[in-house]
């Protein structure tokens, strides 16, 4: 297997070596920042977990959790993580972007690290899972099981509720997508007889 080359023909590892030699202090700074962010995110999560249990936001026994507890817990965790970790990370990212902008254009062109990327290979399935989770929460709420402990749920109820939520997301988004594809095919057939 040959090594991947950048646009100017040099091997990617050579580009990284040159970048590291020239900007080692910034690389060390960003590595240390990444380590501190990881540690900080873990500590904020553990702090909130203990605090949520001691204040009664969520029950200490997992079998007593309900959908209401779970959604409330997740929203609070996201809030505290964004407040304590997300805002400093955004500030650091802006500082890194400003540092990158100050580099000469010739040097930035030389550091084309990642080659060409294809949109087809990028992920993006997370939106569908989020929609299914929201539909699942709506289904549990409409069934009257929002404040019912998970320990009392049957496995059948969990599976059928999830499948029902998936089905409704498929109907709500699948029908318009199918109509769009049909319209596009008909439009292309008329255009190219």
Q: What is the pLDDT of residues 130-182, one digit of tens each?
A: 999 999 999 999 999 999 999 999 888 988 999 999 999 999 988 998 898 88
Q: What is the pLDDT of residues 41-85, one digit of tens each?
A: 999 999 998 888 889 898 888 789 999 999 999 999 999 999 999
Q: Is 11 helix (H, G, I), strand (E, B) or coil?
A: strand
Domain boundaries, the chain: 1-116, 120-193
DSSP string for 68-83: HHHHHHHHHHHHHHII
Could you report the per-residue pLDDT of 140-150, keeping only the tens digit for each?
A: 999 999 999 99
Q: Tens digits of per-residue pLDDT, 76-128? A: 999 999 999 999 999 999 999 999 889 888 887 777 655 555 555 555 567 88
């Amino acid at each position: 297997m040959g090594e991947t080359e950048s646009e100017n023909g040099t091997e990617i590892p050579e580009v990284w070596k040159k970048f590291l030699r020239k900007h080692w202090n910034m690389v060390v700074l960003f590595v240390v920042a990444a380590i501190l962010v990881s540690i900080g995110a873990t500590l904020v999560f553990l702090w909130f977990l203990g605090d949520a249990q001691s204040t009664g936001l969520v029950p200490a026994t997992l079998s007593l959790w309900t959908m209401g507890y779970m959604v409330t817990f997740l929203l609070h965790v996201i809030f505290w993580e964004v407040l304590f970790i997300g805002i400093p990370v955004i500030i650091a990212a802006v500082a890194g972007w400003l540092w990158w902008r100050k580099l000469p254009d010739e040097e930035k062109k030389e550091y084309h690290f990642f080659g060409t990327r294809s949109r087809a290979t990028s992920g993006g399935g997370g939106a569908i899972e989020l929609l299914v989770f929201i539909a699942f929460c709506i289904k549990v709420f409409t069934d009257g099981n929002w404040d019912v402990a998970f320990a009392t749920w049957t496995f059948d109820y969990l599976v059928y509720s999830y499948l029902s939520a998936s089905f409704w997301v498929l109907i709500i988004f699948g029908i318009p997508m199918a109509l769009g594809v049909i319209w596009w095919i008909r439009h292309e057939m008329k255009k190219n007889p």
